[in-house]
Amino acid sequence: MIMEERSSRIPAMPEGDYLNDSERASLVSTEDLSLLNRWNIPEGVPTPRLYERWPVIGRSHPKKKRTPSVDIRPIILPPVGIAAIDKRNGHDQQESTEIRWSASRLHDWLDCPRKGWLKHQLKAAEPESFDTDMDGKLRGILVHDVLALTMAEVMGFQLGDINDHQKCPNLASAGLSLPEIMSIALRHALQIAPWLAREDAVASHRRRRMLGLTLEELNEWEDGDGESPIILSGRLGAMLTREMGLTGSGVLSMEWELKSSKGDPSIINVEPSIEFPEDSWSFGLSGRIDRVEILPQKDGWQRTDGKAEVVPLDIDKEDNDPSLRHIIIREIKSITGPDKGDSGKRHRKALLQEVQLALYARAWELANPGDRVVAVGVSEVGEGTKHLLEVDTSVLSEFGEELTDESTEIVAPLHRRRGESHKNPSSVPFRAWLRYRLEVSGRVADAASSGQVNPTPSAKMCGYCPVKMPCGLDSAFKGGFA
């Protein structure tokens, strides 16, 4: 009842360039933020980076125009004055709880604090049913693991280790042909997923989609020495073929486990900014980065005028680059299709809705003094493979298909530092985005630790929520802003 009443107070057609303060106070759902909606800013309306107020929440405008939003989560609902409900939403908690974070745990709390609490603190998630996307999960594990194992074997390093000497910086420089590399990948695929060699119809379908092989072709290869060069198509074949073209960087590590520079568990310290010297956050983070790469410099892999010190979070456009090495962080995500118009969607989500890329970028910088992350992105592995990179253009100006299939500048019109003037802001937008995603993470972690577990139901989120049964609010949300 209360959620329904709160939802009904949301203005259906707000006015102004972006939502005003009282409209923002009515927000009850992450869906209202429309973080992923394509924007098309009306003429004369400044982008969020140049808008007087910041951060802003966008809205729809006539003629199919829309202003963009900047993430303001966590959405914390004020007390409603009913003791039992306020207590359940965490409004009277005295002691904070320590939570060890991972990116996926933070994503659950970002989606909905009640989901985070029910799933991770109360362990109330329903067991996964068979109608969930099993095929998608299997595909994801397979492409991810096969690529990592194949690259580590071919390039001569262990998963999680640093390929520091860079004798073999990428797959193409290993001196093996594509069919030879595909043969190694096929061996790993069959070890991870022996069912790929089964006869039934499901296996046959998956084998074709993943490897592009019939059972006869696979048996023939296995009946030989199981090592002969082979041509694969399907997802794995397309991924490896594209991989051979990524020659513009050196792979530093695959599956790098987050840790401090001394090898201790990773702590993300979000240092205060010039604008807010009192604000800082600190929280522990576990996880593994799919892939870390290094960019070549004029004479080797290091810049000559950098320092081996942790690169500051805040860098302005006129500042000298303080770094020794330039780093790329990529996450590999298996996607369906993609359908027409969906290419790049997963990358966009990772930048604007999730925090994993930003957290991993900063975790790497903190653990590796002198390293500056200058591009992050999602490698979308579907029917084909597309490597996308969001680029810090204050450092990287030229790049081609030897580094990425598409470079994006999605965050540049959206971000400046909190408190920075809107008149000609001096921050490097990529660094301002990085800082802001860390601040969002810090605020979510603080809210969770202090017991803020209010629901933020949304039509999209509740439908797939693994705790919707114990929650009971999945039908409360009636839609958001226009």
Does position 115 bind ligand SF4 by CB under 6 A?
yes
Question: Which span sits near ligand SF4 by CB under 6 A: 9-17, 143-151, 175-183, 464-472?
Answer: 464-472
Does position 447 bind ligand SF4 by CB under 6 A?
no
**Residue 255: alpha-carbon gap to chain centroid:** 15
CB 72 within 8 A of CB 57: yes
Chosen residue from 2, 80, 176, 473 binding ligand SF4 by CB under 6 A: 473
Does position 187 bind ligand SF4 by CB under 6 A?
no
d(Cα 156, Cα 171) in Å, to the nearest integer?
10
Question: Which span sits near ligand SF4 by CB under 6 A: 120-128, 186-194, 369-377, 462-470?
Answer: 462-470
Concatenated DSSP letters for 245-280?
Answer: T--SSEEEEEEEEPB-TTSSBPEEEEPPPSS-TT--
Chosen residue from 48, 253, 468, 480 binding ligand SF4 by CB under 6 A: 468
Three-state secondary structure call for residue 134: helix
Question: Which span sits near ligand SF4 by CB under 6 A: 111-119, 165-173, 306-314, 355-363?
Answer: 111-119
Chosen residue from 112, 155, 168, 230 binding ligand SF4 by CB under 6 A: 112
Concatenated DSSP letters for 13-76?
Answer: S--SSS--HHHHHT---GGGG-TTS--BPPTTPPPGGGSSSSS----EETTTEE----------
Three-state secondary structure call for residue 358: helix
Handedness of CA 216, 220, 226, 230 (dihedral sign): negative
Does position 461 bind ligand SF4 by CB under 6 A?
yes
Span 410-429, contacts to ligand SF4 by CB under 6 A = none
**Position of tokens 């962080």?**
329
CB 82 within 8 A of CB 454: no
Does position 77 bind ligand SF4 by CB under 6 A?
no
Does position 471 bind ligand SF4 by CB under 6 A?
yes
Three-state secondary structure call for residue 154: helix
Provide the minimum distance between the beta carbon of 456 and ligand SF4 in the complex, in angstroms, as a whole number.
Answer: 6
Tokens, residue 100:
């060890």
Does position 465 bind ligand SF4 by CB under 6 A?
yes
Does position 370 bind ligand SF4 by CB under 6 A?
no
Chosen residue from 287, 425, 455, 480 binding ligand SF4 by CB under 6 A: 455
Provide the minimum distance between the beta carbon of 85 and ligand SF4 in the complex, in angstroms, as a whole number.
Answer: 14
Does position 457 bind ligand SF4 by CB under 6 A?
yes
d(Cα 183, Cα 118) in Å, to the nearest integer?
45
Cis status, amide bond into 413, omega within 30 of 0 = no
Which is nearer to ligand SF4, 107 or 242 (by Cβ)? Answer: 107
Provide the minimum distance between the beta carbon of 357 and ligand SF4 in the complex, in angstroms, as a whole number.
Answer: 23
Provide the minimum distance between the beta carbon of 108 and ligand SF4 in the complex, in angstroms, as a whole number.
Answer: 9
Residues that bind ligand SF4 (CB under 6 A): 112, 114-115, 118, 455, 457, 461-462, 465, 467-468, 471, 473-474
